[in-house]
Amino acid sequence: MEERLISGILQRVNLTALLISSISRNGDVGKVFQRLAQNRINVEFVNKISLQNGHASVLLCVDSKDLYSAVAVLEEIKNAAHELDIFPPARVAILSLFPHREHPIISGIITQTLSAAHIPLLAMASSLSSISCVIHEERLSEALGLLSKTFGLS
């Protein structure tokens, strides 16, 4: 019997994604994490990518109830003369597929499946045991159904 690539999908909702760019790699990223923690804002998903120009691009997902506090923190850091661009927040959901076992093909299938259905993949990240994708919350049911079918879970 063919082994299933994925054995389960976990979903998380009521999240908002915040994209920050043109931020200095260590100092200002650290300031963002510090001020969010001081304001008791939990960051459920973090993607930080260093860019060739010495800056970084960071995507954070916070609970939607913390959106206004999180934006206030980012604006405060920006207003303190730190260089960063903040893009409009997006209401999102996260689907985490278990286990990935470091197989690249799983990321390939995810990108292909969502792209074919014109579901924007806002972000993707690996963890110890899962690969998580961030999508607009209004496309959650559709994405979950498609990925479940593609990976033979339904």
Q: How far is the CB of 91 from other proteins (least distance, A)?
A: 15
Q: Identify which of residues 12 and 91 has a Cβ nearer to other proteins in the complex.
A: 12
Q: Identify which of residues 67 and 109 has a Cβ nearer to other proteins in the complex.
A: 109
* Partners of 98 in beta bridges: 8
Q: Identify which of residues 37 and 72 has a Cβ nearer to other proteins in the complex.
A: 37
Determine how many CB atoms are found less than 10 A away from the CB of residue 146: 18
Write out the residues near other proteins by the rule CB under 8 A.
10, 12, 19, 21, 25-27, 29-30, 33-34, 36-37, 39-52, 57, 59, 87, 94, 96, 101-109, 111-112, 115, 120-132, 134
Q: Length of the chain in residues, anyone? A: 154
Q: How far is the CB of 101 from other proteins (least distance, A)?
A: 8
Q: What is the DSSP secondary structure assignment for residue 137, as one 8-state letter?
A: G
Measured between alpha carbons, how far is 80 from 60 in angstroms, rounded to an integer? 20
DSSP string, 64-94: GGGHHHHHHHHHHHHHTT---EEPPPEEEEE
Q: Identify which of residues 1 and 102 has a Cβ nearer to other proteins in the complex.
A: 102
